[in-house]
Amino acid sequence: MLKFKVFSRGQSASEWPLRNAYLLDSEGNGVRAEIEFADGVVTCEKSEPGTAVLCLQHDAGELGQLTLRTCLLPERAAPYLLSVELCRHRLMMLYNKLEDWAMFDLGEGHVVTKRETKARGLFVEALSIQDDNPVEASRLADEALATALDGSEELALAHSEILLSKRVETGSLPKAALGSGVGLTVDTDERVLTGLAAGFDFVQLPLPWKVLAPEENEYAWGPADAWAAWAKSAGKPVVAGPVISFEPSSLPDWLYIWEHDFETVRDLIYEHIERVVTRYKGSVNAWTIVSGLHVNSHFTFNFEQLMDLTRMSTLLVRKLHPEAKIIVELRQPFGEYFAKNPRSIPPMMYVDLLIQSSIQFDAFGVRLPMGQAAEGQYTRDLMQISSMLDQFTGFGKQVFLTLAAPSEPVTEFMIAVNPAMGDEPVDAESGHWRRPWSDMVQGHWLEAVLQIAMSKPYIEAVCWQDLQDHEAIELPMSGLMDEAGQPKNAFRRLLAFRHGLGMSGPGSAGSEKTGNAGNEKSPAGD
């Protein structure tokens, strides 16, 4: 058992919301556990003995409410001090990345060095008094944690600026780097289409099975046909899909009849892929053929069956549309789902299996919505995002990253009326990055994550999940335009990012080579 003492306002906490709380093992995979809070102590009762990591949403002061983690800790009778252990891990992460990225020579005046020095001093002081004065030690550790978080984000941005400048100087940025998803059933006006044409290199055309075939064997192709025709007339490459996803927003209701019959589901998936690819292969350049099968939240399929579905889907697309790129997409890339679902596959284990099994595909997709209190959408900091993407180094595959974040806090009402969420009960406390989600915060977050992502040489493209807010949007208020078609701050920052990099394509308007999109202020700023 692991136990953690927590404090609030100078005394033992009387309440402590356990949001996005789960354990990881030494391999980084989720561990089944009962996590509870009582009498100022968070208790983690694991299904198996051994060391573990606690992850949970934590109030990091001015840095926001973020899902953070401890180091790998052995079981012991006495409780750990949670704030101390969260800070210990963040400092260790900071030192590891300084080494991995060969950035120890930043100099004493660099903001990262200043933050590291201050955080280390506060942490050492907290360690020295944690047994005698745990309340003060917790306060010092919280301050050290916020400082270390700030330093690690600045390090992630500094490193990305160096790599992005090299990518620009060597001309190695992809030609079609930035894209946007569209709402399949949304009525758009000319302003929206103009913004899509002017600001993006490609269109991500969603093809949710639930919308295409609300009734078995009865297809409604009209909206998808219209978008495919528009993209072709506008000269925009199309990344279509996900074609197969087990998310509630994608699965037709009639398919659940067969949820325990793998052979029938497999045949239905085969027929659906065949119809969709055959219809749109003249308009589509790349297929996100499966998405999130490794999460397996809604069917009872086993490990071998999930891999069989992945293999069958990719082989079928290769047969029907051999010149198209094939993308296998990961959802919930931090892997918290595996702590609750033994039928699922941890994300990087799924990646390894795809490579080792010689499954035929061209790129990984990574879907990263953030800012909604649903699995995989709790808020993470920039260093965690950068480190997660670094895990894809060395596989010899390109990565297509899809992003989303809201322009205002997602409320319980928004969740309740959002059909994309299905019937799963969730609250509205998803955390936030630095400040509660707003039009301005969404823009800064987009700019910062774009800079980090485009600096990675294996990132082939970044796509914003939805161009415009609409009723059935998966993450409420996450469009770059509001429902009236007015651009948000994030859209303007995306265009400025293109301009600052001198990227070729519709949004290009200059040749400045800067990692901060031509702004005088870091994206991590206010």
296 pLDDT tier (thresholds 50, 70, 90): confident
Does residue 413 lie within any of the structural domains?
yes
In angstroms, rounded to a whole number, what is the distance separating the alpha carbons of residues 121 and 116?
9
* Low-confidence winner among 48-62, 186-200, 202-216, 483-497 (lowest mean pLDDT): 186-200
Give the mean pLDDT of 21-41: 95
Tokens of 485: 């078609």
d(CA 53, CA 336): 12
On whether both 234 and 146 belong to a single domain, the answer is no
d(CA 525, CA 461): 25
- Kindly state the percentage of the chain with pLDDT values over 90: 81
Residue 22 has pLDDT above 70, yes or no: yes
Out of 38-47, 53-62, 410-419, 507-516, least confident range: 507-516
User: In the predicted model, is pLDDT for residue 7 greater than 60?
Assistant: yes
Q: What domain count does the chain have?
A: 2
Q: At 379, is the pLDDT very low, low, confident or very high (cuts 50, 70, 90)?
A: very high
- Mean pLDDT taken over the chain: 91
Q: How confident is the model at residue 185 (pLDDT cuts 50, 70, 90)?
A: confident
Site of tokens 């949820």? 259
Distance from C-alpha of 391 to C-alpha of 383, rounded to nearest angstrom: 13
Contact between 199 and 494 (Cβ < 8 Å): yes
Residue 484 maps to a domain: yes
Q: Are residues 119 and 260 in the same domain?
A: no
Residues 366 and 457 in one domain: yes
- pTM, entire model: 0.92
- Residue 445 confidence (pLDDT): 98
Q: Are residues 185 and 157 in the same domain?
A: no
Answer yes or no: is 507 within a domain. Answer: no
Q: What is the model's pLDDT at position 525?
A: 43
pLDDT band at 259 (very low <50, low <70, confident <90, very high): confident
- Of 178, 121, 276, residue with least CA distance to 517: 178
In a domain, 51, yes or no: yes
Domain that holds residue 248: 174-501
- Of the residues 99, 133, 164, which one is the last residue of a structural domain? 164
pLDDT for position 507: 41
Q: Is the dihedral of CA 417, 419, 420, 421 positive or negative?
A: positive
Any residues with CB less than 8 A from the CB of 432 and at least 6 apart, and which?
Answer: 64, 65, 371, 379, 409, 441
Instruction: Decide if 477 contacts 469 (C-beta within 8 A).
Output: yes
pLDDT over 70 percentage in the chain? 92
Does 302 score more than 80 pLDDT?
A: yes
Which of 104, 133, 164 delimits the end of a domain?
164
Q: If pLDDT is split at 50, 70 and 90, which confidence band does 426 have? A: very low
Query: Where does the pLDDT of residue 526 fall: very low under 50, low under 70, confident under 90, or very high at 90 and above?
Result: very low
Identify whether 99 is part of a domain.
yes
Contact (CB, 8 A) for 216 and 275: no
CB 242 within 8 A of CB 207: yes
Is 426 in the same domain as 386? yes
Number of neighbours of residue 315 by Cβ within 10 angstroms? 14
Same domain? 305 vs 444: yes
Same domain, 301 and 424: yes
20 and 90, same structural domain?
yes
Q: Quick check: 524 pLDDT over 70?
A: no
- Asked if residue 175 has pLDDT above 70, the reply is yes
Q: Is there a domain that residue 524 lies in? A: no
- pLDDT value, residue 193: 93
State whether 224 and 360 are in the same domain. Answer: yes
CA distance 322 to 97: 40
**pLDDT tens digits for 115-139?**
999 999 999 999 999 999 999 999 9
Q: Are residues 187 and 138 in the same domain?
A: no
Closest to 411 in 3D by CA, of 379, 372, 369, 440 = 372
Residue 436's identity, in one-letter code, is P
Read off the CATH number of the domain in which 347 is found: 3.20.20.80
Instruction: Please spell the DSSP secondary structure of 270-308, one letter per residue.
Output: HHHHHHHHHHHTTT-SEEEEEESTTT--SS---HHHHHH
- Three-state secondary structure along 349-417? HHHHHHHHCCCCCCEEEEEEECCCCCCCCCCCCHHHHHHHHHCCCCCCCEEEEEEECCCCCCCHHHHHC
450/368 Cα distance (integer angstroms) = 12
- The residues, ordered by sequence, that sit 6+ positions from 29 with a Cβ below 8 Å of its Cβ are 335, 338, 346, 349
Domain match, 396 and 476 both: yes
Q: Is the pLDDT of residue 29 over 60?
A: yes
Distance CA(173)–CA(50), nearest Å, equals 45
- Classify residue 516: in a domain, yes or no: no
Q: What confidence tens digit (pLDDT) does each residue in 469-521 have?
A: 998 899 999 999 999 999 999 999 999 999 888 764 554 433 333 334 333 33
Q: For helices 439-455 and 489-501, what crossing angle results, to 10°? A: 30
For residues 201 and 285, give the distance between their C-alpha atoms in angstroms, rounded to a whole number: 12
Domain boundary among 109, 134, 164: 164
Helical H runs in 67-133? 82-100, 111-129
Nearest to 324 by CA among 386, 399, 239, 430: 239
Q: Which residue has the higher pLDDT, 439 or 300?
A: 439
Of 72-76, 221-225, 283-287, 510-514, give the lowest mean pLDDT range. Answer: 510-514
pLDDT of residue 414: 55
Instruction: Tell me the two tokens of residue 247.
Output: 């998310």
Evaluate whether residue 455 is within a structural domain. yes
Mean pLDDT of 307-328: 97
> Same structural domain for residues 193 and 312?
yes
By the 8 A CB rule, do 353 and 305 touch?
Answer: no
- Average pLDDT on 192-196 reads 92
